[in-house]
Amino acid sequence: MAVISQLGDSAGEQQCGDTKTRRGARSAARHWVVALVFLSRVSQTVLRMAMGALVIPLCEDMQCGAGAKGWLLSAHAAGYCSTQVLGGYLADRLGGKSVVSWALGLSSLAVVATPAAASAFGLRGIIACEVAMGVAMGPIFPSSIRLLARWLPAEERAVASTALDSGITLGSLIVVPLSGIIVVYSDWRAAYAVYGLGMLAFAFVWARLAADSPADCEFCGAEERAFLESAAPQNDKQEGLEDPLGKWSFLRCFSYARLWAIYGSHFSFNYAVYFVNCWSATYYFETFGLRPEQAGLHLSMPHLVNSLVKVLVNPALERQMMGQGADTLRRRRTFSILGFVGLAVFLGLVPTCASLPGTTVLLSVAFGFLALHPSGFKANYMDVTTSRGGLVSGIGNTIGSAGSTVGPLVVAYLCNVTGGWNAAFQSVSLLNVASAVLFSTMSSTLPIEADEAPATNLGDVQSLQLAHTIGSKA
């Protein structure tokens, strides 16, 4: 593969110490593209997490019980699962920009329509809008991964992935206190109107400024464009080479252990995140008698710690491991194993703590470990394929979204059956320990194209494997 060969050559140049071109390309359009995707994550998270922050005043207004809360909290994820693969497929063929533009616009309209649907159809109307928002939002993750894979060289992906995941943290930090403020001065309906209109405004910004590749970007300079053409794969523009994955069936995406290492990790990650985000307000209310507007600091602190770890710890740990000669796979595994085990331990201790400050500290430390994953299994999405990033990440996020869907329902069931929270917290801890084992034994940074390339393209396979080897040591 000509492009893969170029990738290997670029990695080799870096290994030999040629850093002048990279340094010259750092004042970069790609940083602005990362910033746009970051803001899309912020906007997306505000809409996704709004229900968790507003479910108590909403259910007081609509007079719904614990069972209805479970359905309200899982409705978005149910819709979100349905369009991940389609979004990734379309992004591989049409580019990520247009797919994300439509996803942002349509999901914002679903949010804006929620208050009217509640007045007309009650809880069923709200659930329908949550599902519709999830359906519209589903393509954003795989499409943005596909777009970034075309903008970022391998050595920048872990840091960029962490920065992007900080958008999820920032969105969570925004939605919890802001929802409380809006409810105090108005009601939950006003909050949905504010969030939906804000997302719609950002959709126009994205459509105007985002670009599928450096060649399509009007503010990408010639020097940076030349650097990225040699350093980042542009597989859909190759000429004279049969796409080694073109004959794939959909089921082949489930036949690789290295992909299942990511899929399973993503399921556990989403199960844990949605457990905390969806049920924290209820847990503080039932355990300590604090309403969401009173528990704002306690609800926000885990996300603040999560953000600080992403900003301060992840880049420093990445640099330290690279300085010690750790290859890409070792770095990905270290981040993920620490993240899963640390979260399992500290989250498992929460129901044993009778102290309000102690509970907040345990949740905050657990979320600090959760912050390591963007530099682990999430960055691994961009390692394992060079031509099907949209499809693979779409499948992975669909499986992850299944964890978001069943998580709130399982928690509601366990709490009702056991009459407490112990079993719910333990389910998260056990699942995360299992994922630590899964990723530590099955993950890889070798692209699947190396397995699928035709025998006649042996030289291309060797180039791909060479790029993997050099990139892993970079």
Run of H or E including 223: helix 222-231
According to the model, what pLDDT value does residue 273 have? 85
Locate 388 and state its tokens: 């099907």
Higher pLDDT, 71 or 6: 71
Residue 153 banded pLDDT, cuts 50, 70, 90: confident
pLDDT in tens, 365-421: 999 999 999 899 998 988 888 777 788 888 888 888 788 777 777 877 888 888 788
According to the model, what pLDDT value does residue 324 have? 92
According to the model, what pLDDT value does residue 248 have? 53
According to the model, what pLDDT value does residue 39 have? 92
pLDDT in tens, 92-132: 788 889 999 999 999 999 999 999 999 999 999 999 999 99
Q: Which domains does the chain have, with CATH numbers?
A: 2-236+244-473 (1.20.1250.20)
- Computed over every residue of the chain, the mean pLDDT equals 81
Residue 72 has pLDDT above 50, yes or no: yes
Most distant CA pair in the chain, distance: 69
CB 437 within 8 A of CB 336: no
φ and ψ at residue 295, rounded to 5 degrees: -100, 20
Q: Looking at mean pLDDT, say which of 15-24, 133-142, 407-416 comes out highest.
A: 133-142
| Region of poorest pLDDT, from 23-27, 331-335, 337-341, 440-444 | 23-27
Of 300, 299, 286, 271, which Cα lies nearest the Cα of 408? 271
Burial code (b: 16+ CB inside 10 Å, e: under 16) for 359-385 equals bbbbbbbbbbbbbbbbbbbbbbbbbbb
Residue 83 has pLDDT above 80, yes or no: yes
pLDDT in tens, 342-367: 999 999 999 999 899 999 999 999 99
Place of tokens 């591989």: 92
CB 85 within 8 A of CB 395: yes
- In sequence order, the 6+-apart residues with CB closer than 8 A to the CB of 217 are 29, 33, 211, 225
Distance CA 472, CA 474 (A): 6
Distance CA 451, CA 455 (A): 10
pLDDT in tens, 227-274: 777 665 544 443 333 444 455 567 778 889 999 999 999 999 988 887
Its pTM stands at 0.71
According to the model, what pLDDT value does residue 214 have? 83
